[in-house]
Amino acid sequence: MRLRSTNNNSPEVSFAEALFQGLAPDGGLYMPIALPNIFDRLEKLDGGNDFPAVAAQIIEGVLGDELGNALDFTRQTFPFAPALVRVSEGIQVLELWHGPSSAFKDYGASFLAAAMERLLQDRNQRAIILTATSGDTGSAVAQAFYGRENIDVVILFPEGRVSPLQEKQLTTLGGNIHALQVKGAFDDCQRMVKEAFMDKQLCQQVPLTSANSINIGRLVPQSFYYVYAWAQLRAAGVSECSFVVPSGNFGNLTAGVLAWKWGLPVKGFVAATNVNDVVPEYLKTAQYNPRESVATYSNAMDVGTPSNFDRLQAIFGGSCEEMKNMIAGEVVTDEQTLQTMQRYYQEHKVFLDPHTAVGVLAAERRRASGDKSEMIVLGTAHPGKFLEVVKEATGVLPDLPERLAAVLEKKGHADPIFPDVADLRAYLLEKFAGQVI
């Protein structure tokens, strides 16, 4: 696969180069140049193909053998799988929270970690992943990279500002996962990471790389579950489906649109957001006005400047009309989110996390407006990760997923650090400068 920056102002790169660079040198996002049609491969899939088998077909179709034997790779990378659950008439939730951090980001993080490990081993190189987190992404990354050969991960988080569970998820793994507790805010963590990457001398001595959500290596694997769901639905006799995607940075939706470009038969997509609605607004008015985000119950979607919008624009050639033909926007308020969670618990005995609830209400609206295709809502997180909101909506405390409850019992370790890049530099040099291959 060859890739090009959305800013069109840096050299084309291979998939491996794009993985380790993350952001293109011109500040743009990497996108595949060619979008091969792999419908012939997809058509052979049926309900009997498990998730690794589906993923391997797509990898072979779009990446070839860049990661070695595709099926071996996917079997090792994905010990967890999505589940499709019908929640009401014409609406199914694709549960994507059966992985180690109980949110869909496990798919992207696991794939990126496994791909990086494989490529580094092939080249006999090491990498140090440097990342800042306000909570959720960091835990998916930590879990995915834990125990990987040739890779260490340094995670910066703001002291006292992540939830107790998130802190445990970051600090209890140990081994090649190093947690730094910054005496400052999330913005300090992000600034330190940015400054470290800009320090040329440091980068020569320590092979720093990133694993953030704009990495194409996190996007490609998110297309796999759209195809998986479609194969399951087709086997069950469902002829037409739409995907409803609770969105913030729009990585998940972009991955679905990629799958469609690769030949997946989809009626359409629904971009479901909370009141941070820059994309639904764009679809309505053709005006794109990124702005400050506001806090909501579905906080992983509190994004005012969606980082993948440029990729969506690249796919649709910058045309709002073209995008509208494929993507509908729906905006859901906090109050509507709570009501939906309450209603689904009372009427269907289903717990929804606030993000998935935004998607479910959007799906109901599409059905009510006459779209009778089967609505597949991406279930982005386990309801147990949002205990307080679920309790407020339903009056009942859902169970914490077992693997998360177990983490709470463990003792964590984090090294304290001042919010100064000089301290981070010293830490990285002391820990990693000597041992680089």
Ligand X SMILES: *Cc1c(COP(=O)(O)O)cnc(C)c1O
Of residues 233 and 303, the one with the C-beta less far from ligand X: 303
**How many residues of this chain bind ligand X (CB under 6 A)?**
15
Of residues 143 and 252, the one with the C-beta less far from ligand X: 252
Of residues 49 and 380, the one with the C-beta less far from ligand X: 380
Site for ligand X in 75-114 (CB under 6 A): 103, 105
Contact pattern for ligand X over residues 127 through 166, marking x by CB under 6 A: ---------x------------------------------
Query: In sequence order, what are the residues at sequence separation of 6 or more whose Cβ sits closer than 8 angstroms to the Cβ of residue 340?
Result: 332, 352, 357, 358, 360, 361
Of residues 61 and 379, the one with the C-beta less far from ligand X: 379
Sign of CA pseudo-dihedral 35, 40, 41, 42: positive
Given 105, 183, 324, 372, the catalytic residue: 105
Contact pattern for ligand X over residues 225 through 264, marking x by CB under 6 A: ---------------------xxxxxxx------------
105 catalytically annotated: yes
Residue 382: CB minimum distance to ligand X, A: 9
Q: Per CB under 6 A, does 381 bind ligand X?
A: yes
Residue 433: CB minimum distance to ligand X, A: 34
Residue 158: CB minimum distance to ligand X, A: 18
Residue 194: CB minimum distance to ligand X, A: 20
Residue 173: CB minimum distance to ligand X, A: 19
Which residues lie near ligand X (CB under 6 A)? 103, 105, 136, 246-252, 300-301, 355, 380-381
List residues with catalytic annotation. 105
